[in-house]
Amino acid sequence: MAAASHSNVTHISPQRPRTQRSHWLARLLLAKPLNYFQWRLALLIPHVNLGYLRPLDPLRILLQIIWLLLVIPPAYRRPPFLQRMQRATGKANAWLLCHLSRYRLLHQTNNHQQLLQRVEQLAVHPFWRLAPVRFTLYAVASILILFIVTTPMSTLPQALFVLLLWGMAMIIGQFKGNLANLLLILLSAIASTRYLWWRAINTLNWDNMINLTLGIGLLAAEIYIWLVLILAFIQIAWPLRRPSAPLPDDKTLWPAVDVFIPTYNEPMKIVRPTVLATMNMDWPEDKLNIYLLDDGRRQEFKTFAEEVGIHYMARPDNRHAKAGNLNYALERTQSELITIFDCDHIPTRSFLQTNVGWFLKDPKLALLQTPHLFYSPDPFERNLDNFRRTPNENELFYGVIQEGNDFWNAAFFCGSCALLRRGPLEEIGGVATETLTEDAHTALRLHREGYNSAYLNIPQAAGLAPESLSAYVGQRIRWARGMIQILRIDNPLFGKGLSLGQRLCYFTAMLYFLTGIPRLVFLTAPLAFLILHVYIIHAPAQMILLYVLPHLLHSNLTNARLQGKYRYSFWAEVYESVLAWYIARATIVALFAPHKGSFNVTAKGGLIEQQHFDWEIARPSLVLTGLNVIGLLFGIWRLIENPANETAIVMLNIGWTFYNLVILGVTLSVATETRQTRNSHRIPARLPALLQLEDGRVLEAETLDLSEGGVALHLDVPADGLLNQKIEISIGKTPTILRCSARIVRSHEHQIGLLFDPLTLEDEARLIECIYGRADAWKDWVTDRPRDRPLRAMLDVLRTGLTGFHRVSYVLLRRMVSVYTQGHKFLSWVYSLLPRTPNHLQSRVDPP
């Protein structure tokens, strides 16, 4: 375990003793050539002192040589040294350089970004279409990477390799573009694969069964994480970023569209805005058919549908839940395209005009999916008070992963905010009903039949997120179970019809939901050493650091680069830790019994009247926190009692445990449900408005936010004396979107808050358009958020974790006081039942 000592080092003086004989022959033959070579090298590498090399000079020399081979400096164009080097490579090198020069790929430039752009042109050049060239280079690169990954190194060479790899990543990170992303992915894959190879070959203790068993368990969890990492890199390495396709000017060529709005037990206040917004969509009226699919068979909904003039459908049973509801409508409608909106997803006016063009452009297109954007905070965002400041869990999928899927023609159907072509959907028998994730399974079947899919990353609809953590967890359990059901029933790795890229994209999505058990392993792994003194990684601490740090740093750096503003560092661990226990149970059941499980509708639009701690949902986190606290105490004890040669490994496990406690602290903070008492959420919007006051004055204003109940405005003049006035408000100019009456219920300096008077159906539809239906309503929803900065994200997670422990301490203290109070009352009641000696007997005096 202990590192070898380097203190006994013999230092050789650079001065030659006078008595030593000089090697005159060597000096005669080598001195001048060596001096000449050093002089020429100094010209080529002017920023390196060859007589006194610094730690990073080997990296500088390597990068300079690569730069000289690709870029010919203007002041030193084709020096004889380079000419001789090029001639020495033979005819193959000359042929390659000739072709590169012919295609104008090697140009003189001092602009690094311009250089990267030219290399990107090389990466996509038709030259790579030559199969022999492509596969030869792939084979050479694979052999080189295999050599790098499997070469064993001692401490110092491994440390230098780590510095080299990190220096290259820092330099590449300064450039933009997909090629730089691919190079960072390559470096991360090398670091992670090298770590995993070292773990498998050098760190398992085969002499101790307990060490070996627990060590293999941790290694299996790490192999799973490595596999997900590599597959995810392949999935998102080159996002497609598809633009919108224009529609023809002749509207008679536009296809007819059926809009399906399935509902089951949602209240009218949630469904009503969605229906009104779909009616406002810009599409020829004779080619737009809206259907309210009510599986609750409610008279109120039927009356509403008749009032607004849309179709109402209610089937006699609820077989196959949402999928069965959609298939029932599919059999009774006939338009070429079908648009599906969950009853809480409200589309913009431009939804169809933005998306339908691709169906006219690609006759084989069967599915087009758009992002799911949520205008209300989910439990993480509300309970942690970081709504729109920290990306939620969904944003990574819709901002990054679906863009990568689209490159591989593997965009998933997500159940809402999507368009499907009727013919292909009917060809596969309608929406899939065999699993709980009918949307992804339907997309898989369409791809198996050879149809195309598309993803357009332009938010054109928004919906409600689950309010409570229990509802959120229930939704994720259903997703996890459904994806594993597909893995068992219709495994994408097998069967006909899918390309390799499609198979990998689907398999990666399903593999992700198996993260529960590996996450539980990582949250408890250091306890094996701290509590049981079991070496699950049988290696010196310094070697563990030299192998695991590159793996962690490069993967975080690369993910931060690829995921940008859609996922911040360390938050993936938070989401996985909250769900780990629940997803682990659901996926194990689905693996062994794929046909078990029933569809559950996620509750939305509810209220949380009082802040409270969800003890039921937080129970796994509380248990894990308790175990890690015990492990931390054992670690402190081992620092005091264990031999000095174990100090480093004890500190390493204490650091791991502390990190786990920080993550668990965040999960406990999420379990503290904060109040949610709004019947309608405020949506930020900057729109011009005019106010006509009771005295006839007209004031110009700008909206700050809008809701279905009122609006907040900023006035150019102070709002003195306006409170409780009844006014007329007009929102929007040329044209006016909404004109209605309202009352001023709040005023402060230049800001006022209005409460709308009861609206007519027409005014309500205009208000819905004003809040949700504008084409640019969600354009800037995430664009203003900064990109991921890992250090800042780490500090944010640390602060949130400490906040979680503070919240739990406060809740536990209150519970302890409550238990003490109740216990005191109970003991007092028990004491009151005990028999007692009467007072007159206590002072009794015997009679004379």
- Summarised one tens digit per residue, pLDDT across range 270-298 is 999 999 999 999 999 999 999 999 999 99
Q: Which of 773, 799, 824 is the last residue in one of the domains?
A: 773
Burial-class residue 524 by CB neighbours within 10 Å (0-12, 13-18, 19+): middle
What is the spatial distance between Cα 356 and Cα 255, in angstroms, rounded to a whole number? 8
Q: Is the pLDDT of residue 6 over 50?
A: no
pLDDT band at 695 (very low <50, low <70, confident <90, very high): confident
Q: Is the pLDDT of residue 61 over 80?
A: no
Kind plus residue range of the DSSP H or E element containing 418:
strand 418-421
pLDDT digits (tens, 9 = 90+) for 740-773: 999 999 998 999 999 999 999 999 999 999 999 9
439 is catalytic: yes
> Does residue 658 lie within any of the structural domains?
no
Q: At a CB cut-off of 8 Å and minimum separation 6, what does 690 contact? A: 698, 699, 700, 701, 729, 730
Q: Is the pLDDT of residue 697 over 80?
A: yes
> Does residue 740 lie within any of the structural domains?
yes
**Helix (H) and strand (E) counts for the chain?**
29, 19
> Does residue 430 lie within any of the structural domains?
yes
Average pLDDT for 120-131:
67
Kind plus residue range of the DSSP H or E element containing 99:
helix 91-102
Q: How do 688-692 and 672-673 pair as beta strands?
A: unpaired
Q: What phi, psi does 807 have (nearest 5°)?
A: -65, -45
Q: Which of 467, 499, 529 is the last residue in one of the domains?
A: 467
> Does residue 96 lie within any of the structural domains?
no
Tell me which residue range forms the domain holding 387.
Answer: 255-467
Q: Is the pLDDT of residue 501 over 50?
A: yes
Q: Looking at 38-47, 214-223, 439-448, 836-845, which range is the least confident one? A: 836-845
The predicted pLDDT at position 9 comes to 36
CATH number at residue 378: 3.90.550.10
Angle at 265 between CA 261 and CA 266, to 5 degrees: 65
**Half-sphere exposure of 705 toward its Cβ, with a 13 Å CA cutoff?**
9
At 563, list the tokens: 């995921």
Angle at 207 between CA 201 and CA 211, to 5 degrees: 75
Q: How far is CA 739 from CA 347, 677, 736, 764, in A?
A: 22, 28, 7, 10
Q: Is the pLDDT of residue 28 over 80?
A: no
263: helix, strand or coil: strand
Domain count, the chain: 3
> Does residue 338 lie within any of the structural domains?
yes
The sign of the dihedral angle between the CA atoms of 627, 632, 637, 639 is positive
pLDDT digits (tens, 9 = 90+) for 700-711: 999 999 999 999
> Does residue 402 lie within any of the structural domains?
yes
Q: Angle of helix 647-670 relative to helix 541-563, nearest 10 degrees? A: 30
The predicted pLDDT at position 114 comes to 64
pLDDT band at 87 (very low <50, low <70, confident <90, very high): low
The predicted pLDDT at position 195 comes to 97
Question: In terms of pLDDT, which residue wins out, 77 or 549?
Answer: 549
Q: Which of 444, 467, 490 is the last residue in one of the domains?
A: 467
Residue from 294, 295, 342, 344 carrying the catalytic annotation: 295
Q: Is the pLDDT of residue 823 over 90?
A: no
Do you find a cis peptide bond into 424, omega within 30 degrees of 0? no
What is the spatial distance between Cα 798 and Cα 289, in angstroms, rounded to a whole number? 51
What is the spatial distance between Cα 221 and Cα 226, in angstroms, rounded to a whole number? 9
Q: What phi, psi does 419 have (nearest 5°)?
A: -120, 140
Residue from 258, 344, 378, 439 carrying the catalytic annotation: 439
The predicted pLDDT at position 206 comes to 92
pLDDT digits (tens, 9 = 90+) for 237-256: 999 999 999 999 999 999 99
At 581, list the tokens: 């226990």
The predicted pLDDT at position 178 comes to 86
User: What is the C-alpha radius of gyration for the chain, rounded to an integer number of angstroms?
Assistant: 34
> Does residue 422 lie within any of the structural domains?
yes
Q: Is the pLDDT of residue 78 over 80?
A: no
Average pLDDT for 486-490:
96
Q: What is the pTM of this model?
A: 0.82
If we measure between CA atoms, which residue out of 291, 292, 293 comes closest to residue 320? 293
Q: At a CB cut-off of 8 Å and minimum separation 6, what does 748 contact? A: 719
> Does residue 767 lie within any of the structural domains?
yes
What is the spatial distance between Cα 204 and Cα 248, in angstroms, rounded to a whole number? 65
Question: In terms of pLDDT, which residue wins out, 730 or 69?
Answer: 730
Average pLDDT for 205-214:
93
The predicted pLDDT at position 237 comes to 93
Q: How much of the chain, in percent, has pLDDT values that exceed 90?
A: 67
Name the DSSP class of 682: -
Q: At a CB cut-off of 8 Å and minimum separation 6, what does 33 contact? A: none
If we measure between CA atoms, which residue out of 440, 487, 478, 662 comes closest to residue 579? 478
Cβ 453 vs Cβ 410: under 8 Å: yes
Residue type, 736: T
Q: How much of the chain, in percent, has pLDDT values that exceed 70?
A: 83
pLDDT band at 846 (very low <50, low <70, confident <90, very high): low
